[in-house]
């Protein structure tokens, strides 16, 4: 099983940007098999490769379907973090 971590930020391109971000994060947290950590700048999603991308495909599609324009910025890290660090070393 290949594990990954994805650092993802959502930038809705309209004035009411906070609710879509909070909704996206809430939807991510409803999925089994993922470890989701949110900070002020981004959300980290860790888990099995296929599961992470399955969920991201579903939830980014849902965000785009809600209307308006938005940008997702993602960084993908492969492999397990060391026991004394989080997925992105911070």
pLDDT in tens, 21-64: 999 999 999 999 999 999 999 999 999 999 999 999 999 999 99
Query: How would DSSP label each residue in 15-78?
Result: S--HHHHHHHHHHHHTSTTEEEEE-SS-EEEEEEHHHHHHHHHHHHHHHHHTSS-EEEEEEEEE
Task: Note the pLDDT of residue 9.
Answer: 98
Instruction: Determine the pLDDT at residue 89.
Output: 52
Q: According to CATH, what is the number of the domain 3-78?
A: 3.30.70.930
Q: What is the pLDDT of residues 61-90, one digit of tens each?
A: 999 998 889 999 999 999 765 554 555 555
Contact between residue 86 and residue 10 where contact means Cβ atoms under 8 Å apart? no
CB 6 within 8 A of CB 76: yes
């Amino acid at each position: 099983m290949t594990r990954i971590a994805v650092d993802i930020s959502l930038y809705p391109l309209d004035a009411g940007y906070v609710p879509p971000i909070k909704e996206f994060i809430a939807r991510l947290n409803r999925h089994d098999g993922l470890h989701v950590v949110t900070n002020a700048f981004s959300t980290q999603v860790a888990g099995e490769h296929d599961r992470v991308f399955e969920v991201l495909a579903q939830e980014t599609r849902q965000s785009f379907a809600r209307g308006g324009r938005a940008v997702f910025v993602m960084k993908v890290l492969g492999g397990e973090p060391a026991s004394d660090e989080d997925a992105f070393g911070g």
